[in-house]
Amino acid sequence: MSDALPYDSHRLRHLAGEIITNVRELSQLGWTPATSSNFSERLDDRHAAITVSGRDKGRLTEADIMVVDFDGQAVGSDHRPSAETLLHTQLYRRFPEVGCILHTHSRNQTVASRLFSGAGHMRLEGYELLKAFRGNETHETALDVPVLPNSQHMPTLAAQVDALLDRGPMWGYLIDGHGLYAWGRDMAEARRHLEAFEFLFGCELELRRLTAGH
Ligand SMILES: CSCCC(=O)C(=O)COP(=O)(O)O
Ligand SMILES: [Zn+2]
């Protein structure tokens, strides 16, 4: 990292450390199997720190974090950024308050995405933990988590996400057979949202198992 680069290299090192520590914990929970998942934080109003594509997310080092601009182009690095970079940069570009984006592939997220892809959303209702989402003051609310069809063509996926974002504030979405995107103003908030989604998906799946055949 050199001072000639168009971003603050000290801040990059700080964010890289934060990503490495948090992602290692998420990986230990089994939420990033087989090199899946990707993670980023806003560096400034034009750049984000993001994971290099294909790396084992449980063993990230500083060399596995790189910088992209909000067009998804690598800045000051020969590495290839996450294949899903566009799904990160579209949020940073559109919402200045978004500071961190976490994408994971846990079993609960993947199974839930399969189960609710037909409906196009998964309804979470009546849970105290709904208050974990910024803006929710009470459990007496319902949150419809969108489930998008998967695609290897990121502009197609990004266009679907953009259409969802037009509807109002949201903190995450599922992609069918793939995983969850969750975000927040900073790492702590994004992680709180991610953990709340994961817990609530687990509750819904468990309820389905317990009530199957009744
Ligand atoms: C082996 S997982 C397939 C790609 C994916 O969904 C993912 O989250 C990881 O892609 P990246 O390019 O960010 O490593
Ligand atoms: Zn993925």
- What is the whole-number distance in angstroms between the Cα of residue 131 and the centre of ligand 2? 27
pTM: 0.97
Higher pLDDT, 196 or 140: 196
Confidence bin at 137 (pLDDT 50/70/90):
confident
C-alpha to C-alpha distance for 213 and 189, rounded to whole angstroms: 38
- What is the whole-number distance in angstroms between the Cα of residue 119 and the centre of ligand 1? 25
The alpha helices in the chain, defined as continuous H runs, are: 9-28, 85-94, 107-116, 154-165, 187-211
- What is the whole-number distance in angstroms between the Cα of residue 52 and the centre of ligand 1? 10
Residue from 178, 26, 199 nearest 116 by CA:
178
Place of tokens 């961190």: 100
What digits encode the pLDDT tens for the residues 48-79?
A: 999 999 999 999 999 999 999 999 999 999 99
C-alpha to C-alpha distance for 55 and 64, rounded to whole angstroms: 7
What digits encode the pLDDT tens for the residues 5-41?
A: 999 999 999 999 999 999 999 999 999 999 999 999 9
Confidence bin at 192 (pLDDT 50/70/90):
very high
Q: What is the pLDDT of residue 1?
A: 46
Structural domains in the chain plus CATH codes = 9-211 (3.40.225.10)
**Which residues have CB under 6 Å of ligand 1?**
34-38, 51, 53-54, 82-84, 103
Confidence bin at 3 (pLDDT 50/70/90):
low
Q: Is 214 known as a binding-site position?
A: no
